Amino acid sequence: MRQKVFSIATIGIQIFTLILLTIILMGCTNEDIDQNVTINTSPVNHAPTVNLTAENLSGNIPFYPQFHYWCWDQDGNLDYCEMLSDGKVFVNSSTIPFPEDTVWPMYNTTGKHVIEIRGTDKEGLTSSTKLTYTVTSKPPGVLLNLSKTSSPAPFDPLNGIYLYCYDPENQMIFCEIKIDGDVIASYPNLKNNPSGGVDFYTLPDTVTHTIYKEAGGHTIGVIARDKEGQNASKSVEFVVTTAERSYPTRNLAVADQKLIWPVNCEPGINCSMGYPDLDKNGVSACGYTYQTHEGTDIGFTWEQMDVGVDVYAAYDGVVKWVFDGKYDRCTSFGDNIVITNPDCAPPTGEMTSGSSSGYQVCTESGPYCNADQRINKGWSECIWCFWGGNVVIILHPDNLYVFATRYDHLKKNSIIVSPGDTVKRGQKIAQVGSAGRSSGPHLHFEVWTDWYTPVDPWTPGCNPPWTYWQYSP
Ligand SMILES: [Zn+2]
């Protein structure tokens, strides 16, 4: 083709034409080469592309994996995508992307778990990727506290208990309380408990509270177990002590356990009587009383008091409390109340440890709670307040029936014993007065079976033989 062109043109035209044709022919050169290559016009099918990543690959029961994913096909012919948890499909969708309200898998068992994402296109090409999670479990927990771990007998350790079994993963299946190895409460199957735990703030009615009457050491323990077999436990030791009343060391040298008459007088002859009213009905089978009176009043004249009426310890014992120094000619009780002295006036303010106000005197706080307070109220510290002005309390550790005796309204500065003194039955301790809430000279004498649990010594009746009195008129 190129030789024909050179033969028919002038030189100028030939040059011009040559340039022109060269340009034209150069434009045709590539076409000439490409005519030797075959172009495939049918499209290539790509497999779908999937992606699965996670922020963490381990966690405690119940574990919800936090992951991100996508599933896409560059050819636009995705058929479906699916998510599998441990081989089971939990999301299957042909939409792109997956719905956002997907329910993620939750793992309630420990060990390794697999999440997989798969994409499949309409030509059947598939892509997949997977992640492995490790699920672990925390052991259950227990809390155990007693309000007191040492108490005089009788002691109920479950009074004031603080006890709790729980599992942070709600996997607890068992909780049990033991005292000295004996199961006292057991919760063997907690699977149906929605909280997964059990609360012992209120122990079930079926639990029998063991009341310890003997001294010694004991152990209370609690154990909890979860579904994975992990245990948690705690134990607390508590000690039951003997009260100040010490039965084992009782001194039987005193042949009988009877109280002597605590003053030198003969009822109805040279002293008057007022009897206890412990049932608070205002009536005493033995004679005069007034409602709620808890002692035996032995009355005298002012003249007898001035001469001096001795008061004796009713039984061997140890002096516990002494209050003295109050004005002793009070008439601040009865029908014709006359407050003749501030010491005869009603107390002002609260009953507080060691306080003294008007005719009231209070002990320091200590383990002086009676059985009801110890057992039902769980108290370990108590005070007692007396309205006798000048008062003596004697403990009788060697007496089977009598814990203590109380002597009230004593003459000012007549008390000749001190706390801690050992006294013998019949030993002089003070003189009769009219201190405190008193209408005139008398001895208010009380008999206790426990810390401030008064009893009527005039039992079983008004005539001998009495349970408590050696006295015989
Ligand atoms: Zn009285």
What's the sign of the alpha-carbon dihedral 144, 145, 150, 154? negative
Last residue of a domain, one of 220, 241, 262: 241
Last residue of a domain, one of 214, 241, 268: 241
- For 408, the enclosing helix (H) or strand (E) is strand 404-408
- Residue at 28 is within a domain: no
- Residue at 41 is within a domain: no
Beta bridge partners of 133: 113
444 and 400 both lie in a single domain? yes
CB contact at 8 A, 447 and 317: no
- Give the 3-state secondary structure of 410-455: ECCCCCCCCCCCEECCCCEEEEEEECCCCCCCEEEEEEECCCCCEE
CB contact at 8 A, 295 and 288: no
235 and 255 both lie in a single domain? no
95-104 LR contacts (CB < 8 Å, sep 24+): 96/71, 96/72, 97/70, 97/71, 98/69, 98/71, 104/64, 104/65
236 and 256 both lie in a single domain? no
- For 241, the enclosing helix (H) or strand (E) is strand 231-241
Structure tokens at 102: 């997907």
User: What does the alpha-carbon distance between residue 289 and residue 276 come to, in Å, rounded to a whole number?
Assistant: 6
Distance, CA 293 to ligand 1 centroid (Å)?
6
- Residue at 33 is within a domain: no
Distance, CA 443 to ligand 1 centroid (Å)?
7
pLDDT attached to residue 38: 55
Query: 203: domain CATH number?
Result: 2.60.40.10
> pTM to 2 decimals?
0.52
Distance, CA 397 to ligand 1 centroid (Å)?
24
User: What does the alpha-carbon distance between residue 304 and residue 266 come to, in Å, rounded to a whole number?
Assistant: 13
118 and 145 both lie in a single domain? no
Structure tokens at 344: 């005869």
pLDDT attached to residue 461: 83
Distance, CA 250 to ligand 1 centroid (Å)?
30
218 and 259 both lie in a single domain? no
3-state helix, strand, coil in the chain (%, to 5): 10, 35, 55
Distance, CA 377 to ligand 1 centroid (Å)?
28
162 and 124 both lie in a single domain? no
Amino acid at 320: K
By the CB criterion, residues less than 5 angstroms from ion ligand 1 are: 295, 297, 444
107 and 149 both lie in a single domain? no
Task: Give the residue carrying structure tokens 């798969």.
Answer: 118
- Residue at 129 is within a domain: yes
Distance, CA 101 to ligand 1 centroid (Å)?
82
Distance, CA 223 to ligand 1 centroid (Å)?
54
Domain coverage including residue 431: 249-473
Distance, CA 292 to ligand 1 centroid (Å)?
10
CB contact at 8 A, 176 and 140: no
pLDDT attached to residue 36: 54
380 and 430 both lie in a single domain? yes
CB contact at 8 A, 372 and 452: no
User: What does the alpha-carbon distance between residue 416 and residue 423 come to, in Å, rounded to a whole number?
Assistant: 11
pLDDT tens across the length of the chain (473 residues): 333 333 433 444 455 444 544 444 454 444 444 455 555 566 788 999 999 999 888 988 888 888 888 888 888 888 889 989 999 988 888 655 566 667 778 888 889 999 999 999 999 999 999 999 999 888 888 888 888 888 877 788 887 777 777 777 777 778 888 889 888 877 765 444 445 455 554 455 556 677 887 788 899 998 888 888 889 999 999 988 875 544 334 444 455 788 999 998 989 899 999 999 998 888 888 889 888 899 999 999 999 999 999 999 999 999 999 999 999 999 987 666 778 799 999 999 888 999 999 999 999 999 898 888 888 888 888 999 999 999 999 999 888 889 999 999 999 999 999 999 999 999 999 999 999 999 999 999 999 988 888 999 998 888 887 888 887 65
212 and 85 both lie in a single domain? no
Query: 351: domain CATH number?
Result: 2.70.70.10
Distance, CA 276 to ligand 1 centroid (Å)?
8
- Residue at 19 is within a domain: no
128 and 148 both lie in a single domain? no
| Number of domains the chain is built from | 3
Last residue of a domain, one of 224, 241, 258: 241
Distance, CA 434 to ligand 1 centroid (Å)?
11
pLDDT attached to residue 108: 83
- Residue at 234 is within a domain: yes
385 and 286 both lie in a single domain? yes
346 and 362 both lie in a single domain? yes
- Residue at 384 is within a domain: yes
